[in-house]
Each structure stands twice: as structure tokens, then as C-alpha cells.
Structure 1
Amino acid sequence: MGEERYFRSEIALLNNSDATFKPPLSPLLIHIVPNGPIITSSEPQIPSQQNQHPKDAWLPITESRNGNAFFAAFHILNSNIGFQALMLPVAFVTLGWAWGTLCLSVAFVWQLYTIFLLVQLHESVPGIRHSRYLFLAMAAFGKRLGKVAALFPVMYLSGGTCVMLIITGGGTMKQLFNTLCDNHGEGTCNGHGLTGAEWFLVFTCVAILIAQLLPNLNSMATVSLVGAVTSITYCTLFWVLSVKKARPNNVSYASSLSTHHSTPLPNINDVLNAIGIIVLAFRGHNLLLEIQGTLPSNIYHSSKVAMRRSVTVSYALISMCVFPLAIAGFWAYGNQIDKGGLLTSLPQVHKMQITKFSMGAIYVLVIIHCLSSYQIYAMPVFDNLELRYTTIKNEKCSRLVRTCLRIFFGALTFFIAVTFPFLPSLAALIGGMTLVPVTYAYPCFMWLALKKPRKTSVVWCFNVALGSVGMLLSVLLVASAIRTLVVRGLPAKFFKP
């Protein structure tokens, strides 16, 4: 009787589940289908199977729910470890050893806490699985407010990250070509290389070709495994080679704040920029619910158990990459580190000490990881495009339609990358508006809205305080980024990658 009651309530609650929301690309006012189509059967339900709205099986995120804890760990590692972590030693130049390590530790624990909140909220109500971050925000904050708060951040963190990956991956392809062609610094075949835009096009074509082979998120477990292995490998190589080779001359570990300014405002701005580098090094919260959506669950076994195991293992590996990169990277270069982080400092400082093969291998690993990360960050956009199509046509996307949608997205991201090749210069500004709330603030408020703990309780006060500090941090980082752009200017070279 309990099983039947569960399944009846699950079918009833599907009217408010992911599948009956209008697509996120529709206008801000969202309508809930009051009596959405639900397939019922006279046959008894099997408790070990998960009852799912039929439209869920049409979309890339929820098309397959046969994943496991290993696949989820691969996805988390692929989406979380990235080239942003190579910038961490730059933050230590401003903060110094003690404050840099403290800020990095606080940011790591903070975002790990919000990740576990999201894991709990995925199945916060029996019978409903929130397999998309945007839909969880709408369920917690209300349809209109949730969409206003989360639509732009989530879309940018998917599509915008793909653009950044094109810029980074295409640029690394160019560096790889120049490294292989460079004959003792003579640059013998640089004149025969492709332009920056052409390298962007090569990267985008390869990325979209791979995307055509991946029908859904669960099917890209092998790609995520490759991305996870390559990212861990090149992160390890960066800090090991930096420590192994001789340090540059006149290395200093004194904080750059020791240079006195006439007013404290520049120092405050530098501190906020350094904190921004640290908090923006952690990403992937906008994909966590989607990854958990690939895991099976039923009335006896929740997906939360397997997901918690995946998060624990993957973040143990992430910590083994992030902390050595920051600490060893700062030890190796100190205040001599380039503003581009380890990705540019290593080849500049140790150009004559590192073999062409070693540097080329690192570039290959970075390129492979960028291609792998492109797939997982593009998947929510593919899901939204297909959701829009299935809502209009009321049918599953054919293979041709799916191919065309993905080619369209690839062409769009390529165009944006070529048009705005200076987008990495805006990472602090846009990241403060998008990644910081999604990662550090929204999960706390969504947990309060859906779990409804007793007001003034310790848990309630802690999450309110943490979420409020996250929103305040977002505002401060945006203000700091704007001031930095005003003071230093923006190298805006359109169509000149």
C-alpha cells in the first residue's frame, strides 16, 4: 500500500516537475501545465523502477538514468578542474602565504558545503527530481523570481564557458604549433601557421564533431574520464615542473600590498581581485544537478547516496590538484609569476630548461581537456534547445534536428569567441555576477526555501548568513572588476583573436 501511495503521489507531483515547466528560453513569465500528459498503465508499478515523465526521456540530460557513482565522479572532475586553477599563484602574490592559504581553504570548504546542499535538494520532495539547476531555482524562489535570478548565470556558465574553452583551446593549439615549429628560438615555420580565428575554427569543428557522437549526458562518461585524467595530469605536471626547475632570480614572497599607496582603495581593490581569482577557481555547481540526474533512484535507493560518494572522491582529487598548484606555483615563481598564471609563466621562465616534447605534451593535455569540458558544459544548452523544440513540436528531436541544433550552437560560440577574443579579461566581472551567486549563495537560500527549517535555529541562521555573505561577495567582486577595468582599460580588439 505504501508503494502504491508513493507512485500515485509521484505521478501527481509530475505536474510540477521538470518536465512540465516551459523551456527556459521562453519569456520570463512561466506557466505550469495544469494537467500535463501523463502516461498511466493498468499494470502494477515495479518498485525497483523509477517512474519518469515521458518527455524526460526525450532530452539529453534525463534521456538515460543508468549512470553510476564512477560516471558521476568522472563528470565532476571533468567539469571542475580547469585552467582557472592555473591562476591561483597570482592571487598569492597579493595575499601572501598565510592569507592566500586561508582564503583558498575557506573557499574550498564553502563551495563543498553548497555542493552537498545541492545533492540533498535534488530529491528534496519524494517523487520529484530536480535535474536542472534552473528548475530547482524556480521551485525554490518561485517561477518568475527563480528564472530572473538563475537564467542568465546558468546560461552564461554553460555557453560562456564553452566560448572561453574555444579561446583557451584554440590559443593552446596555436602555442603547440609554434612550440613544435620553433627551432632553437628561430621560429622556422611560424609564417606557415594558421591565424587565431582559424585555430578557433579548428577547435570548434573538433568539439562539435565529438558532440554529435554523444546523444546524452550519461553517454559521455568515457569523454569525461579522458577529461578528468588529462586535467589531473597537466595540473600535476605544471606544479611538479615548476618546483623541479630552478627558480627565477630575485624571487620575493612579500605581499604586493607592501607597496604603499596614497589611499587604501587600491589595496582593497587588489585584495578583492585576488579573492576573486580564488573563488572563481571552483566551478561546476551549475552542472551538479544535471550530473545527479543521470543516476537511477527509486523508493528504496536514492541517488543522493551514490552522488555523495562521487563528490567525496572527486573533491579529494581536486584538492590534490588545487592546493599544490597554488602553493607550489607561488613558491616557484613568487612575485615573478606572469599575470596569465602558470600556463604562460612555465614556458616563459623555463623555456630553455624544458624540452620541446614536455611542453608539447602539456599543451596536448590542455587541448584534450578543453575539448572534453566543452561537451559537458554544452550539454545543458543542448538540453534547453531540444526542450524548446519538443515543446513546440510535441515530439522528440530527430537525429537531423539534434545535429543541426548542435552545429548551430557551435557556430554561435565560435562567432562569439572570434568577436570577443578579450572575453577572458571580463572573467572577473561576469564571473562575479554569475558563478559566485550560483556557487556560494543560491544553494543556501534554496535549501532554506525547500527544507524550511525553524527560523532562528542554528541551521537557519548559518545558511542565511552564508548566503548573504555570498551575495555581498558577488557585489564586491563586480565593483572591484569594474574599477580595475576603468583604471587599467580593456584591450578590446574585436575580431582579432
Structure 2
Amino acid sequence: MALRAIDNALLTTTPERPKLQVKISVPIQKLTDSTVNDENKAPVPDVNIDYISSDNRKSLPDPESKFQENIEIGRGGGGESGIDLNKWLPITASRKAKWWYSAFHNVTAMVGAGVLGLPYAMSQLGWVMGTFTILASWIITFYSLWQLVELHEVVPGKRFDRYPELGEHAFGPKLGYWLVMPQQMLVQVASDIVYMVTGGKSLMKFVELVAPSFHGTRLTYFILIFAAVQFFLSQTPNFNSLKGVSLLAAVMSVSYSMIAFVTSTIRGAHQHPQSYELRSHTTPGRVFDFFNGIGTVAFAFAAHSVVLEIQATIPSSPEVPSKKPMWKGVVVAYVIVAFCYLSVAVAGYWAFGPFVEDDVLISLRKPNWLIAIANLMVFIHVIGSYQVYAMPVFDMIESYMIQKLHCTPGRPVRLFGRSSYVDDKVTILESEKRAWETSPEALAVQEALNPWRKHDEEAGKSS
């Protein structure tokens, strides 16, 4: 009877999901001897049993949300030190970006030096196929970028700030991480290597035009100058700290695109080819040119590997999720991309036809001062592009050093990790250069391609 009285009290006072704890005393009536078992014949005193009512108790945390919190950094939450790495790592340390930040970040990442190679791709594909490839690439990448923006917060209350996190959600913690992470890192590192070479070549061309006495200086020295600038800029704390560099880079990319467009248009108005036949005159050469042209166009649109990281810098709330300002910036960026790409590709191919160089600025040649300025703009632009593509790599390096090597978050981690990354790119470039110059396999490839090149050159001269 005593237990039944307690049960009745609990049933009448305990709601299903309480929030505030309340202490309740339930009196137990003294039982008579007639109702007590033989072994409990001793009198039972009148007592009060205290218990905590579940009325208004705070709801328990969702285990799934706790799991998502643990993989927020990609592996293991804040680590043994208990530090919230999301507040320190470069991708998520600052979430104060405006919508126009995403606009110029995307322009910096996409409108690279590859735009200057689009006229060359047109000469490999022809008017119809070249224009179709550029427009199709624009539509496909625009749609796929919209999908990524929507997926950033596809799970309520959770942000996929990094590509591996989205991969974990789609394919599972292990498979998703190792399926996505290597591919993203390959794109980031390869792009930075390309930008380092492009920056060195552009600076070398600028110096040769401004100071002809430096003609013949090795490209390696100019790449080292580019790397020295990256050593300094790589110490910026987070992605949002690059907003000034990225904005300047975006302005430079649009500026040299307009220089290429205007000068090509002026040149074409005075003199342009009578025939716009394909660049190559042999079947094997045209096959190689076809795939090379498609690859050139695809490379010009390769900026999706940093979309989630760019969106991670934008604040989000239930009323204004990050996808709204991010998408506004993406639309502005893609309008700029369409204008720059189509104008340079069409004007450059129209002015020079199948004789256009792989860099349309080389075909322009004069005036020297304008071409020098354009090359300097390319150099400044790829400085910013290098940093935008390097930020996800820095984020992963520092996360690994803190969680796996148990380093303490701070400037030493940032200095060592990022400087090592920049230094490795220089070492890789120098090693590849020496291997290409001395490797028998590389020489064999060159000799194998030479017959087609020579045949095409002779056919071009005869025509």
C-alpha cells in the first residue's frame, strides 16, 4: 500500500517532459499490525519520502546532435585540450562575412589566368564547338554550385563547413572522409602549383618588358619571389582576414580580362584572319586538340572546391540562413564570369584565329606598357588565388597537428604548418623541372609528339 501511494503521487505530479526540478514530500501512513507481514511486525514510523519531481526538467540532449558536434572539425571535436577548434581554425574562426565577400572570393577563385587561354581553346575547338563548350560549362557549374550552396545547411542546425564533412554525411564517417578529402586536396595543391608557375611567368614577362636588361633571367628566381610573398600572406589568421587581398585579386582579374578584350577587339578591327579553320591539320592532332581545348575550358571553371569553405565564413540564423547571402554573391560572381570569359574568348579568337598563342597577351605584343601592366595584374591576381585555394589545406594541416600530434593551437603551429606547405610547392616545382629535363621517359614523350607538331607547323606554313 505504501508503494502504491507513492506511485499514485508520481503519476499525478509528473508530466511527460518536465523542465524545472521541484522537491516533493509524500507522507506514508503508519500501517496497522493487521496489514503488516509477519517478518515486519515492528511498528512502522510516520515518515516523509523526498524525491525530485520531473516537472519542468530540461530536456536531454539529442545524441545525434552530440555526434555531429564531435565531427565538427572533421575528426574528434576539440581534442584532449577541450579547445573548440572551430573558433581557431582558419575556415570557421570568423563568421562575419557579407554577401559581397562571397562575390569577390568566387571571382578570385574562378576568373584566373585560365581566361587568357580561352581564345587558344577556341582555335582548337572552332567557333561552334568552342562557344558551346564555354556556355555549357557555365550552365553546368552554375547549377552544381547552387546545389552546393543548398547542401551547406541541408541538415537543420548543422553546417557543413568543409567538403569532408559533407562527404561524411553522404557516405558515412570513414568512407565519406577518405573519398572526398584526397580529391579536394589534390585540386587545391595542383591549383596552387599552377598559380605559382603562372605568377612567376607573369612577373618575369613584366620585368622583361619594363627592364629589358633582365631578359634571360631564370624563371626559378621569379617563382621564389612569388613564394616569398606567399610566406608572408600565409600567416593571415583566417579566411576573412584575406578579404582585402581577395578583393584586390578580383579587381585585377577583371581588369586584365578587359585589357585582353579591348586590345583584341581593336586589333581585330584593323586586321583579322580570313579563315578560322581548326588549329591542327592532322587527325591525331585534332583529336589531341579537342580534348585539350575542353580541358582548358574546364580548368577555367574550376572553383567549386572552395565553395563550402567560402560559405562557412558567412553568419547564419534561422531567419537568415547563410545560403541567402551566399547565393546573392554567387549570382553576381557568375555574371562577371560570363562577361569576362565570353568577351575574351570571342574577341581573342576573332582577332588572331588559329594563330593565337596559348596566352592571348603574348599575341598582342604591343603596346609594351599595356601588356606589362596586364602581366603585373595577372601576378597580383594569382597571389590572391593562391591564398584562397590554400586556406582549406591550411585548415586541414593545423587540424591534424593539433588533434593527432597534440600541438597547442597558436602562432607556432600556423607558422610551421603553412610555411612548410609553401616551401613544399617550391621543392616540387624544382624537382619536376629537373626530372623533366633529364628523364629519358620525358624526352621520349617530347620526341613522340614532335612529328605531329612539326607536321602541323609545316602544313600551317604551306596554307
Do Structure 1 and Structure 2 share a fold, with TM-score over 0.5?
Answer: yes
Tell me how far apart the structure 1 counterparts of residues 344 and 105 of structure 2 sit (CA, whole Å). Answer: 21
Change (3 A) 1:374 1:256: closer
Residues 1:211 and 2:234 aligned together: yes
* Structure 1 residue 102, shift from structure 2 partner: 1.3
Tell me how far apart the structure 2 counterparts of residues 211 and 380 of structure 1 sit (CA, whole Å). Answer: 12
**What is the total number of aligned residue pairs between the two structures?**
384
Q: Deviations over 1:99-119 (max 9, x none)?
A: 211121111000100000000
- Report the 3-state secondary structure (helix = DSSP H, G, I; strand = E; otherwise coil) of the residue aligned with 1:420: helix
- Report the 3-state secondary structure (helix = DSSP H, G, I; strand = E; otherwise coil) of the residue aligned with 1:253: coil
Q: Deviations over 1:286-330 (max 9, x none)?
A: 100000000111222210111110101111111110111111111
Residues 1:70 and 2:100 aligned together: yes
Q: In structure 1, what residue type is equivalent to 2:68?
A: N
Tell me how far apart the structure 1 counterparts of residues 356 and 67 of structure 2 sit (CA, whole Å). Answer: 55
Task: Identify which of 145, 148, 167 aligns with 1:118.
Answer: 148
* Structure 1 residue 73, shift from structure 2 partner: 1.2
* Structure 1 residue 222, shift from structure 2 partner: 1.0
Task: Identify which of 327, 332, 339 aligns with 1:320.
Answer: 339
1:13 is aligned to 65
User: Contact (CA 8 Å) 1:238, 1:342: kept in 2 or not?
Assistant: yes
How big is the alpha-carbon RMSD for the aligned residues of Structure 1 and Structure 2? 3.0
2:220 is aligned to 197
1:279 is aligned to 298
* Structure 1 residue 233, shift from structure 2 partner: 0.3
1:146 is aligned to 176
Residues 1:368 and 2:380 aligned together: yes
Q: Deviations over 1:69-89 (max 9, x none)?
A: 011112111111101121111
2:21 is aligned to none
User: Contact (CA 8 Å) 2:193, 2:425: kept in 1 or not?
Assistant: yes
Q: Deviations over 1:163-212 (max 9, x none)?
A: 11111111111111111122xxxxx4436x4x222211111011221222
* Structure 1 residue 249, shift from structure 2 partner: 6.7
Residues 1:173 and 2:192 aligned together: no
Residues 1:157 and 2:177 aligned together: no
User: Contact (CA 8 Å) 1:251, 1:336: kept in 2 or not?
Assistant: no
Change (3 A) 1:295 1:386: same
1:379 is aligned to 391
Report which stretch shifted further, 135-144 or 7-16. Answer: 7-16
1:494 is aligned to none
Report which stretch shifted further, 245-254 or 359-368. Answer: 245-254
Kindly name which structure, 1 or 2, has the bigger radius of gyration based on alpha carbons.
Answer: 2
Residues 1:407 and 2:419 aligned together: yes
Tell me how far apart the structure 2 counterparts of residues 421 and 80 of structure 1 sit (CA, whole Å). Answer: 27
Q: In structure 2, what residue type is equivalent to 1:177?
A: V
1:241 is aligned to 263
* Structure 1 residue 138, shift from structure 2 partner: 2.6
Tell me how far apart the structure 2 counterparts of residues 36 and 343 of structure 1 sit (CA, whole Å). Answer: 51
* Structure 1 residue 37, shift from structure 2 partner: 8.5
Q: Deviations over 1:426-447 (max 9, x none)?
A: xxxxxxxxxxxxxxxxxxxxxx
TM norm structure 2: 0.76
User: Contact (CA 8 Å) 2:73, 2:86: kept in 1 or not?
Assistant: no
Q: How does 1:432-443 map to 2 (within 5 A)?
A: none
1:346 is aligned to 364
Residues 1:84 and 2:114 aligned together: yes
Q: How does 1:254-293 map to 2 (within 5 A)?
A: 254-256=277-279, 259=281, 261=283, 267-293=286-312
Tell me how far apart the structure 2 counterparts of residues 298 and 266 of structure 1 sit (CA, whole Å). Answer: 55
Change (3 A) 1:287 1:248: same
Change (3 A) 1:242 1:160: same
Q: In structure 1, what residue type is equivalent to 2:137?
A: A
1:300 is aligned to 319
**Structure 2 spans left out of the alignment, 5+ residues:** 1-16, 18-58, 437-444, 451-463
Q: How does 1:464-475 map to 2 (within 5 A)?
A: none
Change (3 A) 1:315 1:83: same
Residues 1:309 and 2:328 aligned together: yes
Task: Identify which of 117, 127, 142 aligns with 1:97.
Answer: 127
Tell me how far apart the structure 2 counterparts of residues 85 and 371 of structure 1 sit (CA, whole Å). Answer: 16
Tell me how far apart the structure 2 counterparts of residues 274 and 163 of structure 1 sit (CA, whole Å). Answer: 21
Tell me the percent identity. 29
Change (3 A) 1:394 1:300: farther
1:434 is aligned to none
Tell me how far apart the structure 2 counterparts of residues 69 and 178 of structure 1 sit (CA, whole Å). Answer: 40
Tell me how far apart the structure 2 counterparts of residues 320 and 17 of structure 1 sit (CA, whole Å). Answer: 42
User: Contact (CA 8 Å) 2:73, 2:85: kept in 1 or not?
Assistant: no
Q: In structure 2, what residue type is equivalent to 1:233?
A: S
1:398 is aligned to 410
Q: In structure 2, what residue type is equivalent to 1:190?
A: H
User: Contact (CA 8 Å) 1:63, 1:216: kept in 2 or not?
Assistant: yes
Tell me how far apart the structure 2 counterparts of residues 361 and 256 of structure 1 sit (CA, whole Å). Answer: 29
User: Contact (CA 8 Å) 2:272, 2:352: kept in 1 or not?
Assistant: no
Change (3 A) 1:255 1:393: closer
